[in-house]
Structure 1
Amino acid sequence: MATISSHIAVMTFPFSSHPSALLNLVRRLAASAPTVRFSFLSTAKSNQDIFSGQQYDNIRPYDVSDGLPEGFIFAGNVHEPVEAFMNVIPGNFKAGMQEAEAEAGVKVGCLLTDAFLAFGGEMAEAMGVPWIAFWIGGPCSLSVHLHTDPIRSTVGDIGTAHKAEQTLKFIPGMSKIQICDLPEGIVDHLEMPIAHALHVMGLKLPEATAVVLNSYEEIDLAIITDLKTKLKKVLSVGPSILALSSPPKPDESGCLPWLDKHKVASVAYISFGTILVAPPSELAALAEAIEASRVPYLWSLPDHSRRHLPQGFLERTSIRGLIVSWAPQLQVLAHTSVSIHITHSGWNSVLESISYAVPMICRPFFADNMLNCRMVEDVWEIGVRVEDGILTKSGTMKAIQLLLSDDKGKELKENIMLLQESAVKAVESNGSSAKNFEILEDIIGFYG
């Protein structure tokens, strides 16, 4: 690489899709600032997963402690590694940054962190450098965390009857959001470490030089406008998948050739992300609904979960179905044969569905899933939530039939195509996301 003009430390929350989302942002910045060194700090496992053979001229991964005891074996409790990691921050990042500075020979001039790592603000202040925070979710979930105290106060004033159905109409752009849609830690489970960390984040983010989102302004204009009154600078720079050119991931399971054999807009794609697995009873119910609906399907399902499928299901549906342990989701959603995305409604999956105009059937599980699902169904009207929020045979069949119907299905498709159009325009040269990214580049160039 050329002579290093400046040095930026990138600090990740090394779980779920957080590191890869932040790396996508850093890749875009690194491409436009070739003399800036980006030191990417994450755990060894996280770095191995997202870099895996990839090398970038001015991005260097550095491993930080994950806090786990030597020889630790994951037994299925997702909270265990998260809590172990939380116990060693920020010391592990400080050590990683010292290593990065020693190797680069240039002091860090800016911190770019996952917004969840709110200590980045205090660290940046102590160093006398700016703090740029990246929020991996959508504007709606960010707004909820910034309004945590007013929400708690309002909820406390509401009687117990129908409390869950009360809306957040006192927050701009959130009149359709109900209390029951809120992530854990806002009004319940306050003792959880994650809840405390997110509350602190909401209090600290107004101090950030800029808060960056993988979203675009037009999708939630009222919410973005409100966020701009509470934060120094709000920069929506996505959708990253439309703004960042990436080589296609290898299709080792043969999903794309299989999709090529099907009619346009005929296949249901099923995926609940890389972390979540639906309960066994729901997997069985979903399989029964798929079989009874006779809809062609491509299902990304971990191998260990296949034992929960009804006996003989794979054999009976083999002609019109394909189950794989992993699917190249972006290429799948972009394929003309895919008409429905059955999803957990995580923000990345929702944004990807919008980017390729695929209506959704949502089964939300945790975190921001419920918020995103509510936006999908009641605000943008680009999909539906499964009946009672749980996968049952009858409820899932009803949702599939609704999306495949001439009237409602056509309406949802038209709505999501309009959102897709606005997303594409946002990342074009004069679009809102493109302009926001230029502002971010200026901040990076000035402070880095």
Structure 2
Amino acid sequence: MEDAKQGQKAHVLVVPFPGQGHINPMFQFSKRLASKGIKPTLTPTIYISKSMQTHTIPTQYGPPIQIRPISDGYDDGGYAQAESTKAYLDSIAIEGPKTLAQLIQKLAEEGDPVKAVIYDGFAPWALDVAKKFGLVGVLFFTQSCSVNSIYYHVQRGLIELPLLGPGPSTVSVPGVPELQPWEVPSFVENYGSYPFWFDAVMEQFSNIDQVDWVLCNIFYDMEIEVVDWMSKMWKVKTIGPTVPSYYLDKRLEDDKDYSLQFFKPNTVLCKNWLDSKPKESVIYISFGSAAELSEEQFKELSCSLRNSHNNFLWVVREKEQTKLPKGFIDETSKQGLVVGWASQLDILAHEATGCFVTHCGFNSVLETLSLGVPVVAVPQWTDQGTNAKFVEDVWRIGVRAKVDEKGIVRKEMLEECIKEVMEGENREEFKKNAAKWKKLAKEAMYEGGSSDKNIDEFVAYVIG
């Protein structure tokens, strides 16, 4: 009991980059810290905090998670309000550290001083602020260690860009399978096409040698060799997967969702529909909260689902639904269900779900590994091509759909991939491997598991 009381005195700031795929894993990690006695305060941007409609998130297992926002310079509209990507990234690099410093000072004045700052790699300025105040600086990687290793090698000049030049055409970094150019993150593959996001991912490593800890949102078995290589340079600990406890170890009894959704899910509709379908008969399709598919790609996807004759549940954000072929939703109403948003965890956990057609955003990959669902990978950009490589060739839980010369995945390719995962000769292998990773993910978060022990070690350090 004395340890728990002491732990509650240790206060940490958790500084996510403003995007759902970045906020959710750091929020989940905050819940784990709270369960172990640490007092976490989440610092979303002012615009995002308005959608959260709360100042604290109560927990049954420890101190409440406070919400104390900082500014990105666009308090009324966030990223969408900015004139350009460059304008937004420039603004958050100025306003973020300024308002973070003000918050640290204010908390000290309130008698609630901060001991550590845990920050998203996309916000390296937070480490500079932490060090200015003499605080523990903790880097939190929301993407895979392999992806971050590639970025590190580029940032340090160990991989020369552009890739398609007189040198070797493949990419090789320690602990990662040899990668073709189209299998590395798009910021690296298509050097020059994303100038401002490229700078953002490179900046993660600008001051990494000053961090006290590096926390990775994976479990150790996923990327053993890369983690071991990174650990030679920094104090690296795997603390994931940051999936709600209900779907893993069930130690946090009320932890059934991420507590933050930018879109309202059609939970009852989806559950009732899935309940009416046979076991492993449904293809679940979702491309996340940010991907924007072309009208041509929507047409190819629609045709492949119709031709598969499988049941399907397709998440298409409302603003994207105008890209669907005219009449598609009505014409396929007996075969499928199209919704604007859904609780992905509930769908992946449902016994009717047989396969997941995904863009391979890293949170989606972690969820499908944690819930044991085979995959058809249709990567779009950023780290997704590398994640898809691991899905097919390393974790072996599914197949990748290849694009044509126009960058479109054609219906024939999608039909072939769906058929292979749903009923092909490798179906049982995919299911067996998916079940193995599900077991390992749970074991990592059980008491005494690899991730749980690492979190305990981190908590002990912070309490100090």
Change (3 A) 1:70 1:267: closer
The reply to whether residue 101 of structure 1 matches residue 108 of structure 2 is yes
CA contact (8 A) 1:346 1:368 kept: yes
CA offsets 1:193-216 (integer angstroms, 9 cap, x no match): 332232232242232111111210
Partner residue in 2 for 1:427: 445
State the one-letter code of the partner of 1:419: W
Please list the CA deviations of residues 297-346 of structure 1 after superposition, one character each: whole Å capped at 9, or x if unmatched: 00111122222222222222101211111111001000001011111101
> Aligned pair in 2 of structure 1 residues 261, 387: CA closer, same or farther (>3 Å)?
same
2:306 corresponds to 1:266: no
Q: How does 1:219-238 map to 2 (within 5 A)?
A: 219-231=222-234, 233-238=235-240
Distance 1:54 1:157 in 2: 46
Taking structure 1 as reference, are residues 72 and 332 closer, same or farther at Cα in structure 2, changes over 3 Å only?
closer
Written as runs of structure 1 = structure 2, the 5 A alignment for 1:19-418 is 19-33=23-37, 36-50=38-52, 55-56=57-58, 57-68=63-74, 74=80, 79=85, 81-103=88-110, 105-149=111-155, 152-155=157-160, 160=165, 165-168=169-172, 171-186=173-188, 188-189=191-192, 192-231=195-234, 233-241=235-243, 242-243=248-249, 245=253, 246-248=255-257, 251-388=266-403, 390-418=408-436
Q: Alpha-carbon deviation of 1:146?
A: 2.4
Tell me, in whole angstroms, the C-alpha distance in 1 between the residues paired with 2:66 and 2:56: 11
Which is further off, 203-212 or 293-302? 203-212
Amino acid corresponding to residue 256 of structure 2 in structure 1: P
Q: Percent identity?
A: 25
Listed as ranges, the gaps of 5+ residues in structure 1 are none
Paired letter, 1:100: L
Equivalent residue in structure 1 for 2:16, among 12, 19, 44: 12
**Counterpart residue number, 2:262:** none
Report the Cα distance in structure 1 between the residues aligned to 2:44 and 2:459, rounded to whole angstroms: 23
Q: CA deviation at 1:405?
A: 2.5
Secondary structure, in 3 states, of the residue corresponding to 1:412? helix
Q: Is the 8 A contact 1:147 1:202 kept in 2?
A: no
Letter in 1 for 2:185: P
User: Matched residue of 2:366: which SS?
Assistant: helix
Task: Indicate conservation of the 8 Å contact 1:41/1:97, yes or no.
Answer: no
Work out whether residues 374 and 431 of structure 2, in 8 Å CA contact, stay in contact via their aligned partners in 1.
yes
1:251 Cα deviation after fit: 4.7
Distance 1:264 1:213 in 2: 34
Q: 1:311 to 1:77 in 2, by over 3 A?
A: farther
Q: Cα deviation per residue 1:69-101 (whole Å; 9 max; x = unaligned)?
A: 767893798735445323423112112323333
Number of equivalenced pairs: 438
Q: Distance in 1 between matches of 2:164 and 2:317?
A: 43
The Cα shift of 1:53 comes to 8.0
Whether the aligned pair in 1 keeps the contact of 2:153 and 2:159 (CA below 8 Å) is no
Q: TM-score, normalised by structure 2?
A: 0.86
> What is the alpha-carbon distance in structure 2 between the residues aligned to residue 129 and residue 391 of structure 1?
48
Question: Residues 263 and 387 of structure 1: is their aligned pair in 2 closer, same or farther, counting only changes over 3 Å?
Answer: same
Separation (CA, whole Å) in 2 of partners of 1:433 and 1:372: 21
Cα contact 2:187–2:382 (8 A) shared by 1: no
- Secondary structure in 1 aligned to 2:19? coil
Is the contact made by 1:41 and 1:96 (CA closer than 8 Å) also made in structure 2?
no
| Higher mean C-alpha deviation, range 9-18 or range 266-275 | 9-18
How far the C-alpha of 1:184 sits from its partner, in A, is 4.2
Q: Does the 8 Å CA contact 1:184/1:195 hold for their aligned counterparts? A: no
Measure, in 2, the Cα distance between the counterparts of 1:49 and 1:413.
38
Looking at structure 1, the residues matched to 95 and 82 of structure 2 have their Cα atoms a distance apart, in angstroms, of 21
CA root-mean-square deviation:
2.8
State the secondary structure of the residue aligned to 1:89.
Answer: helix
